[in-house]
Structure 1
Amino acid sequence: MADTQAKGLDWLLEPVTEDTPCGPDLEIEGADRFIDYYYEAEARMPERYFTPGMAGVAGSIDRLFDPKSINLRTETQAITALLRETRDLRLLSLLARFQVLAARPAEFADSLQAMAALLEKWPDGVHPTTAGSVSERRAALDELGSIKTVGMPLQYLPLAGQTDATYRRYLVATGQVPARPDEEGVERGAIVSALAQPSNEKQVERLHGDLGRAATALNAIVQVCASGGTTRFHPTVDETLQTLTGMQQLLQEARPNLSLWSDQVSPPIEMDGDGAEAPSADAGPSMQAASAPVVPVQAAGAISDRAGVRQALEGAERFLARNEPSSPALLLVTQARLLIGRPLIEALETLLPADAGRAVIGFTPESGFAVAMERMKKLSDSALGGFEDSAQPDDAPPAQPLVLTSRSEVAAQLRAVEEFYAAKEPASPIPILLARARGLMDKGFQAIVAELLPKPEAKG
């Protein structure tokens, strides 16, 4: 079934026209049909997959994203219509996220396979191209590593058609993530037993295959990007790869006859003297193509505390200061570091100096309550514990400086910090600063000037 579904996107490997196989870049052309749909669809992506209820507020409950809220048929039709005109990774990345949010792993794998095949067939032609900068392509592919729109949906995906058998619950049962109140008492044995039931055999095997296809395709995407000559980069998708692999390992635990995706891939890609992929006489793009497992470039891993945040940002700042001192990303990373552990008031005054004084915490109109900026400052100064990180014990060894050697490694660390704040301190502006920094890292001087000094709109 999975293979049949994959063939449904084979038409993407046919050229749009003989002269322009990938068609035009509809964004560069300013096509309203692309711009209106794409950016509106991106804005509809959930800000978080799990929203905790407010403690002490009656009627406030935890909320989990509902896969049924995605109208996948409508989104697929809109994206497919655009893909008939252009071969664009941004559209396929968007489609893949809609599919996994809708709990459709087979279709998710299909889209990743299509992306890998397009990159292999037209590495320089598929949009957005890397001519001048890899930032647009990197941004489209980095979204496949998003925890809130890819990682969390995978974790909560029912593994045997039952919501009590998920990878998330397995992580809780094995102590890899802390349990929420409704997850207390989850047992590993019960999850594995449910997956091992004979009645679930076909469903588990089908899901195992879909997860393997997705992981293999995502790995192939990284391989192609990492061997792109002067434009090579490493998409920040390591956490998604780890999640897909972990899910397959869980299914393998229940059914030992199943094998992991990484056991079925081809031998490592041979590299020439310049570090580029050596050509193969019979190599060709395929929706089913398999590449050797990628060794992550300075895999960021999960950051668990502010000390890890500081180490990551200092490493990124050090690399940029030494190697790219003219990059505006350096300024944003420095500002992010200075806001570690700082209160809301300071963030507002730093980032919104002209408007901070008008900030007010409002309540319901009936109450008439309001906490104005001056009062917020006093409350901020009086907050228990202060805002500085606790000092290390005298006998604690100094933190080992993080040495980064490329923009790809910097981007991976910034992404890890963003995910830490998304999970631990969503009110912090640090993720916004770092996301902007990542977007600026690969831009040239003229593009930066155009953003920093936008031309005034013509009157009349």
Structure 2
Amino acid sequence: MIDIDSLLKEISPETPCGDDLEYDAAYGALERATQGKPEQQFGNTVVPAEGPDWAQVQREASDLLGRTKDLRVAAYLTQALIRLQGWEGFRDGLILIKGLLERYWEGVHPQLDPDDDLDPTLRVNTIATLADPNTSLEGLRAAPLVSARGIGAFGLRDLQLATKTVAAPAGNETPAPELQVIEAAFQGVELDALRATADAIGQSRNLVAGIETLLLEQVGVGAAPDLAALNAVIAEAQKAVAAPLAQRTGQPVASEDLPTEPSSAETPGLTPGERSVVSTTPGAIKTRGDVVRTLELLCEYYRRQEPSSPIPLLLNRAKRLVSKDFLEILRDLAPDGLAQAEVIRGPDADESA
């Protein structure tokens, strides 16, 4: 576990985000630590490559965040947390990233480019690494969904291999896990542990939605990062855990029922009643949460089948508007017409009193 409150504390009242340490020796050491060690040859001796020491990455990133508030450092820390703590670590990393964006948008590093009309590209690219297939997504697919004593630990990638959803990498001689073994692990794991994993996945999905909404508001649809691939992996993991959890508890479990991050990470605009609705008809859209998920699926289709299509830009904008009221939507779509709408609506009761 990380102390999120401590990592979010300002550096000082004068410079809440501290200095940009991109060229500091400690920052360079952190970057190198995330890359591991390449294969080396000394004469006839070949030293195999080594993966990153993620515990070291966590320590160094945490230390740096005590000197600077930097999204790049937070992203490296999140990569380490995925490997060390699985889905719960990923959730904590997202809470940290979202907190940095909310508290320190004006000054968090990398800063908006003052020489290019406050261009947010560096920040957007940093957030986009959350959907990188070779780092974040690979780590999340390997993160355990279930770990049962005497049976083993299995993640989304194991489940995909067992169900032949994906093929094993070329040259991989390790036999794919059997589906019956994975199912036995889901039945054998402690129920509290299974619930904790389901909670972390559900909270992660809501946190990503919150980060997307925040960035859309700050940088607009055209500049916001595409996190559809990340949302797809989270949704797949959520579905994989929901089914055995429903079997264990004897109650149907829909994604709306999964506990969410209480502070501000819940999907905006959803009432408790809406989150408790269980769709009895497959594919039925009964809540705004269903609408958001459907829009995410449409975005994922275009990402896979028509990557050059601009339609996801409009779909992401529609997703952002789902939780807004009429005037908020009008302000977003046609700000020039807002004043006229306010005149037609008249003053609120409080204003006229």
TM-score, normalising length from structure 1?
A: 0.50
2:131 counterpart of 1:136: no
Deviation, structure 1 residue 115: 0.6
2:100 counterpart of 1:111: no
Map of 2:7 onto structure 1 = 12
Q: Matched residue pairs, number?
A: 270
Pick from 162, 169, 177 the counterpart of residue 158 of structure 2: 169
2:233 counterpart of 1:226: no
Higher relative contact order (CA 8 A, sep 6+): 1
- For residues 286-325 of structure 1, what are the structure 2 equivalents within 5 Å? 289-292=265-268, 295-296=295-296, 298-299=299-300, 303=304, 312=307, 315=308
Map of 1:212 onto structure 2 = 202
| Contact 2:206/2:266, CA 8 A, preserved across alignment | yes
| Amino acid across the alignment from 2:59 | Q
SS across alignment from 1:159: strand
SS across alignment from 1:104: helix
2:16 counterpart of 1:21: yes
SS across alignment from 1:165: strand
List alignment gaps of at least 5 residues for structure 2: 40-47, 269-291, 317-353
CA 78–169 in structure 1, closer or farther in 2 if over 3 Å, else same = closer
CA 407–43 in structure 1, closer or farther in 2 if over 3 Å, else same = farther
2:55 counterpart of 1:73: yes
CA 212–260 in structure 1, closer or farther in 2 if over 3 Å, else same = farther
Deviation, structure 1 residue 252: 1.0
| Contact 1:72/1:102, CA 8 A, preserved across alignment | yes
CA 230–76 in structure 1, closer or farther in 2 if over 3 Å, else same = same
| Percent of residue pairs bearing the same amino acid type | 19
2:88 counterpart of 1:99: no
SS across alignment from 1:148: coil
Q: 1:332-387: CA deviations, max 9, x gaps?
A: xxxxxxxxxxxxxxxxxxxxxxxxxxxxxxxxxxxxxxxxxxxxxxxxxxxxxxxx
SS across alignment from 2:67: coil
- Write the distance in 2 (CA, Å) between the matches of 1:93 and 1:193: 35
- Write the distance in 2 (CA, Å) between the matches of 1:46 and 1:100: 22
| Contact 1:90/1:128, CA 8 A, preserved across alignment | yes
Pick from 136, 145, 150 the counterpart of residue 150 of structure 1: 136
SS across alignment from 1:22: coil
Deviation, structure 1 residue 300: 6.3
| Amino acid across the alignment from 2:204 | A
- Write the distance in 1 (CA, Å) between the matches of 2:241 and 2:314: 36
Deviation, structure 1 residue 251: 1.2
Map of 2:230 onto structure 1 = 240
| Contact 1:215/1:244, CA 8 A, preserved across alignment | yes
- Write the distance in 2 (CA, Å) between the matches of 1:189 and 1:44: 35
Map of 1:250 onto structure 2 = 240
2:77 counterpart of 1:86: no
Deviation, structure 1 residue 254: 0.4
- Write the distance in 2 (CA, Å) between the matches of 1:264 and 1:204: 12
| Contact 1:25/1:128, CA 8 A, preserved across alignment | yes
- Write the distance in 2 (CA, Å) between the matches of 1:241 and 1:247: 10
CA 221–403 in structure 1, closer or farther in 2 if over 3 Å, else same = closer
SS across alignment from 2:138: helix
Deviation, structure 1 residue 248: 1.8
| Amino acid across the alignment from 1:31 | D
CA 185–143 in structure 1, closer or farther in 2 if over 3 Å, else same = closer
- Write the distance in 1 (CA, Å) between the matches of 2:222 and 2:111: 12
- Write the distance in 1 (CA, Å) between the matches of 2:35 and 2:168: 30
- Write the distance in 1 (CA, Å) between the matches of 2:78 and 2:235: 18
Deviation, structure 1 residue 261: 5.3
Pick from 23, 30, 37 the counterpart of residue 29 of structure 2: 37
SS across alignment from 1:26: coil
- Write the distance in 2 (CA, Å) between the matches of 1:264 and 1:201: 14
CA 22–124 in structure 1, closer or farther in 2 if over 3 Å, else same = same
| Contact 1:24/1:86, CA 8 A, preserved across alignment | yes
Q: 1:191-225: CA deviations, max 9, x gaps?
A: 2342023x432222222222223222222211111
CA 39–229 in structure 1, closer or farther in 2 if over 3 Å, else same = closer
- Write the distance in 1 (CA, Å) between the matches of 2:262 and 2:104: 12
Deviation, structure 1 residue 46: 9.3
| Contact 1:101/1:149, CA 8 A, preserved across alignment | no
Q: Compare the two structures and name the one with the higher helix fraction.
A: 2
- When structure 1 is superposed on structure 2, of 146-155 and 82-91 the one drifting more is 146-155
CA 299–125 in structure 1, closer or farther in 2 if over 3 Å, else same = farther
- Write the distance in 2 (CA, Å) between the matches of 1:146 and 1:228: 22
Map of 2:344 onto structure 1 = none
Map of 2:350 onto structure 1 = none
- Write the distance in 2 (CA, Å) between the matches of 1:102 and 1:203: 16
SS across alignment from 1:143: helix
Pick from 96, 102, 105 the counterpart of residue 120 of structure 1: 102
SS across alignment from 1:147: coil
Deviation, structure 1 residue 95: 0.9
Map of 2:187 onto structure 1 = 196
C-alpha RMSD over aligned residues: 3.8
TM-score, normalising length from structure 2?
A: 0.63
List alignment gaps of at least 5 residues for structure 1: 48-62, 267-284, 316-401, 410-460
CA 222–41 in structure 1, closer or farther in 2 if over 3 Å, else same = farther
CA 225–105 in structure 1, closer or farther in 2 if over 3 Å, else same = same
- Write the distance in 1 (CA, Å) between the matches of 2:4 and 2:100: 11
